[in-house]
Amino acid sequence: MKRIALFLATNLAIVLVLSVTVRLLGIEPYLTAQGLNLGSLLVFAAVMGFGGSFLSLALSKWTAKRAMGVQVIETPVNPTEEWLVQTVRRQAERAGIGMPEVGFYESDEVNAFATGMSRHKALIAVSSGLLRQLTREEAEAVLGHEVAHAANGDMVTLALIQGVVNTFVMFLSRIIGHTVDRVVFRNERGHGPAFFVTLIVSELVLGILASVIVMWFSRRREFRADRGGAELASRPAMIAALRRLASLHPQPLPDKMAAFGIAGGAPQGWKRLFMTHPPLAERIAALESIGAR
């Protein structure tokens, strides 16, 4: 869903801003004043890594509303809005979570997302394209999928995992930069240009590798949310919704949209490592296997 891409983009931006701010304030040199202090460096990386991750989580609803132009339904003004709010309310009660904010945004793409810092204060939004192109039963299954994401606490868990990978990216990139600066360039005083160049390159490379872990987690959570949607709506409705999504996207989405779509893209080879969603065929097969068992 879009929540993954928005969360990752916000998290990356915040971590980069915090990292640059620390350098401008002159805090980082204290970590290496007496040689590389691994303990202090790990604490520093954890504070920065988890700080960026949870700050992006705290801003997730605000970011999603403005990035997607979400119109939150305060008081339903038509039957569609009334159905949307009542469906989410009923599913939230069954899932044991607080009533999420419910909204919609204008887009021809068939999409929906859930976000928020707490399972009891989530935001669930759907595109106008989804409301136009899916039946009520299919749309209800998609809403159940999103309510399941909120009930499972996926955003908080994602923030924890992202905080861990942020920590090790920052920790290891500084060790690599320090090693190159001292061993390769024989710099014995402070940090030279080699450290900062190596640091930036290392953060980029390690960040890409770390995203593979986050994407793997995201794919696992999609299977679980599908099962939740099947419980909150029905298994046939969830399968029908996924099949409808497959028919609406017969070709893989463009790269810039692959992480945003409710169905995700369908890249081949190494690109599969960076998929936020499993292929729709695999998700359908997983739901069908539940009935077979």
Contact 117, 61 (CB under 8 A): yes
Spatial distance between the Cα atoms of 131 and 241, rounded to a whole number of angstroms? 12
269 in the Ramachandran plot: left (φ > 0), alpha (ψ -120 to 50) or beta?
Answer: left
Catalytic residues: 146
206 Cβ contact partners less than 8 Å away, ≥ 6 residues apart: 168, 169, 172, 173
Residue 232 CA, chain-centre distance (Å), reads 23
| Ramachandran angles phi, psi of 130, nearest 5° | -65, -45
140 Cβ contact partners less than 8 Å away, ≥ 6 residues apart: 87, 233, 237
Q: Are strands 123-127 and 112-115 parallel, antiparallel or unpaired?
A: antiparallel
What's the angle, vertex CA 169, arms to CA 167 and CA 173, rounded to 5? 125
